[in-house]
Amino acid sequence: MENLESDKYRLISFSRLPNSYGKLLKRICNLNKSGACKIPENIGGIIDLDVNYFSSLPSVGELYVSSLIELKNELCNGDILHFNNPIEEDDFIGEFCIIPSSLSTLHFNFQFLSKQEIKLLDKFENLYGSMSVKDIVDFDVADLKSLKGIGNLHSETLLSLQSRIRSELKRMTENGMDFKFTESSIFTSSEIRFYEMNKIDKFLLEDVESYLWSLDDRRQDIALSRWGFNHRYETLEEIGERYSFTRERVRQIEKKTNARLPLFFRIHPKVLWKNIQANISAGLTSRLPNLAKCFESERTFFSFLEECCQIESGSVSQMANPDVKRKILDSLFCENPSPISRSFVISELISEFGYTQILAEITIKKLEEAGVLKSDERGIEPQDLGAKEAIAHVLTFHPEGLPWKDIARIISIKGYSKHVSGERMSHGFNDSDYIYLCGPGTYRHRMFLDIDQLNIDLIFEHLIAYFGENNIQSLNLHDYYSHTINERVQVEYFTLRHIIKEYGEAVDIYFNGRSSVDNVSLSKNGERITQKEVIIQSLNRAKGAMTKAEIAEKLRSKSLDHASYYLNVLMDEGKVVRVDQLMYTIPEKAFKNINQDKVLSFIGMIVNSTNLVIESDIIREKANLEFDLSYSKYFYSALIGTNLASLGCYRVNNLICSKGFKYRSMRDICREVCNVNYSTAENIKKIREIVWITSPVAESALSQWRLLIS
């Protein structure tokens, strides 16, 4: 067959097949439905179907196998495919079984159905629940006679409707890609596609008017009054008084009226919502001007759109006017020099916080309007950072560190913050998660200190041994450093100071750097357990998740460093989870709003589909799409971390794999495979030989690695 390769994925529902093949295809469909197998219902699926495998399936005898062999041969030779030939009405018989995959996305447009056809569909829904187009076209008219209250008129209506369906399906097949569902005589489609907003504006107005004309006067008046559509908006009570109805009776009429509204649309509610989401950042009143004019307020306009899209009340207004957190991008600027490209900032909001593309764009726009950000052709820069965030941001430009007065001067010149003075040292220098003292009065960003390359265990082993050998409970760090210079791991003094201050509590070693004297002492008073309990209790009492800063306020020390340490310990123990870049909570609260079994099953399928290490942003991307969710990669990483046993996989930080692996971070992977002489694309290609990763995360990891080695 000349065009076999391009035709392999064509669906063969309209091929003229002898009855023997029709029975074969019906058997395949029934096997698929029962779950006994999953054979692609297209030409390629039949051609590629292994005969031995097919013969092993339940209820498949010699006749079916022989029929399959003959059909495979004829398909390969092109003897029975008539894609371009006219199809007679008689060819489209109820015996066909392989239905186009697009049929599952087809829905009836009530605007073009007769009253009898609508009544029949309502009757079916009452008897059988929701029925698809395929269910209707497959329904045997003879079965109607056994149903109570069904007469000849219903049978005639069903036959007529089935004929209309077949005729329209045939027209779809003949027109192929040129077919327009907005011009269909019976269908609408839930397959996602995008339209010009002026056309949506036009279609909605026309379809709403068509629906209103289908209602009796009372229902039409209630609809107009409740929508506020070219009408004064009225409450349930006001309408009830006018008709002598109870508030509940009006609500029931409204609910039924609203439920049927989208059935009269040429654009399916699911598709309409995707189009609205894609244009919401540009302003819906300007994108749908004619429809917007029909409403007195933005509130009633948005509420009506929610009814049209059949989505939760408040969804449109929440997306169009989101509650934007002014500090949401602070952590991004704390770890990256600016300007940062707009696309990268959007990717960060999507990955780190679970935002949609649209919500990310609106958030940036709102932050610009609030003076938190400024942007130009180079990218985005911060303008209203707190003291410690501004200090951290400046230091991302300076791998060797800077004196505090130089940092303050740069902040003033660039306008990064109004909270840092060049006259005295700001609090942001000594209580930051991002920087450390690297010399007298000089600070450096922690990102340039490659902790993974330092043997911290050996450093603490020597320090603990020193306490024991000298039978002391405290020491002056300067004395210890000078006395043991040739006995321990070689590390610069201020790096040692930072390691003890940051990681000492893990081994009951406590740092006290007050009054310019660096003292280190031992403690065995069980403080770590007490503080861990304080955090758990705080998270249990909190209405939602808490930031690290909020958690630090609950500790005796009020220290962010201590909060970081305790949170890391609790996360390793599975008692606390990180749900996005900033927020922490307990697992019971974090995962209560999802179907964990379904999501974990889906994650397991992804993890087991590859031998590569998986960066959790891949899980976020696929799971959010599959289940229409909006969670961050940290959320999914935490979910995996608390279910490692059932998933049968391994996790280190945000890296996951079906088998054990040696890497602790993306920095490890970059260090192993990346080369400063390679281009970004070449380095990312190397990274992807080891890890399955989204492009934004790969670019971010590569950027951090380049900063580290610069």
Residue pair 374/364 in contact (Cβ under 8 Å)? The answer is no
pLDDT for residue 515 is more than 60: no
478, 557: one domain: no
CATH of the domain at 483: 1.10.10
Which of 490, 522, 554 terminates a domain? The answer is 522
23, 127: one domain: no
706, 622: one domain: yes
Which of 320, 354, 384 terminates a domain? The answer is 320
If you average pLDDT over residues 643-666, what whole number do you get?
Answer: 89
502, 566: one domain: no
Reported as a pLDDT band with limits 50, 70 and 90, residue 345 is very high
More confident residue, 38 or 492: 492
Q: Tokens for 400, please give them.
A: 């060797």
What is the residue whose two structure tokens read 């281009």? 679
Residue pair 479/430 in contact (Cβ under 8 Å)? The answer is no
CATH of the domain at 537: 1.10.10.10
181, 209: one domain: no
Q: d(Cα 701, Cα 710) in Å, to the nearest integer?
A: 14
pLDDT digits 0-9 by tens, 585-601: 999 999 998 999 999 99
Total number of domains in the chain? 6
pLDDT digits 0-9 by tens, 346-382: 988 998 888 888 888 889 989 999 999 999 999 999 9
- Domain-embedded: residue 432: no
Q: d(Cα 472, Cα 74) in Å, to the nearest integer?
A: 90
Residue pair 569/508 in contact (Cβ under 8 Å)? The answer is no
pLDDT for residue 81 is more than 60: no
179, 202: one domain: no
Q: Which of 43-57, 214-228, 559-573, 618-632 is predicted most confidently?
A: 214-228
The whole-model pTM stands at: 0.61
Helices (H), 341-455: 342-353, 357-369, 387-395, 404-414
- Domain-embedded: residue 431: no
Output the pLDDT for position 264. 95
If you average pLDDT over residues 22-36, what whole number do you get?
Answer: 71
Q: Tokens for 667, please give them.
A: 């920095």
**Pairing of β 691-692 and β 613-615:** parallel
Q: d(Cα 684, Cα 62) in Å, to the nearest integer?
A: 53
pLDDT for residue 36 is more than 70: no
- Domain-embedded: residue 551: yes
* Residue 2: Cβ within 10 Å count: 7
- Percent share of the chain, pLDDT over 90: 38
**Nearest to residue 504, comparing CAs of 557, 548, 541?**
557
| pLDDT, the chain, mean | 83
More confident residue, 180 or 51: 180
Residue pair 582/547 in contact (Cβ under 8 Å)? The answer is yes
515, 617: one domain: no
Residue pair 667/704 in contact (Cβ under 8 Å)? The answer is yes
- Percent share of the chain, pLDDT over 70: 88
Q: Which residues of 317-327 are buried (b: 16+ CB within 10 A; e: fewer)?
A: bebbeeebeee
pLDDT for residue 42 is more than 90: no
Output the pLDDT for position 487. 85
- Domain-embedded: residue 626: yes
578, 680: one domain: no
**Nearest to residue 571, comparing CAs of 651, 462, 681, 660?**
651
603, 702: one domain: yes
Which of 495, 522, 549 terminates a domain? The answer is 522
Q: Which residues contact 390 (CB under 8 A, 6 or more apart)?
A: 382, 411, 416, 417, 419, 420, 428
**Nearest to residue 165, comparing CAs of 175, 173, 177, 176?**
173
Q: Which residues contact 397 (CB under 8 A, 6 or more apart)?
A: 337
If you average pLDDT over residues 74-85, what whole number do you get?
Answer: 49
Residue pair 698/684 in contact (Cβ under 8 Å)? The answer is yes
pLDDT digits 0-9 by tens, 456-502: 889 999 999 999 988 888 888 888 888 888 888 888 899 998 988 88
- Domain-embedded: residue 356: no
DSSP state of 513: -
Q: Tokens for 329, please give them.
A: 């991008």
609, 680: one domain: yes
- Domain-embedded: residue 499: yes
Q: d(Cα 304, Cα 223) in Å, to the nearest integer?
A: 10
pLDDT digits 0-9 by tens, 259-302: 999 999 999 999 999 899 888 877 899 999 999 999 999 999 99
- Domain-embedded: residue 631: yes
70, 57: one domain: yes
pLDDT for residue 5 is more than 50: no
610, 624: one domain: yes
Rounded to the nearest 10 degrees, what angle do helices 404-414 and 387-395 cross at? Answer: 100
- Domain-embedded: residue 345: no
Amino acid at 48: D
Q: Cis ω on the peptide bond leading into residue 440 (within 30° of 0)? A: no
Q: Tell me which residue range forms the domain holding 303.
A: 197-320
Q: Tokens for 273, please give them.
A: 């919502």
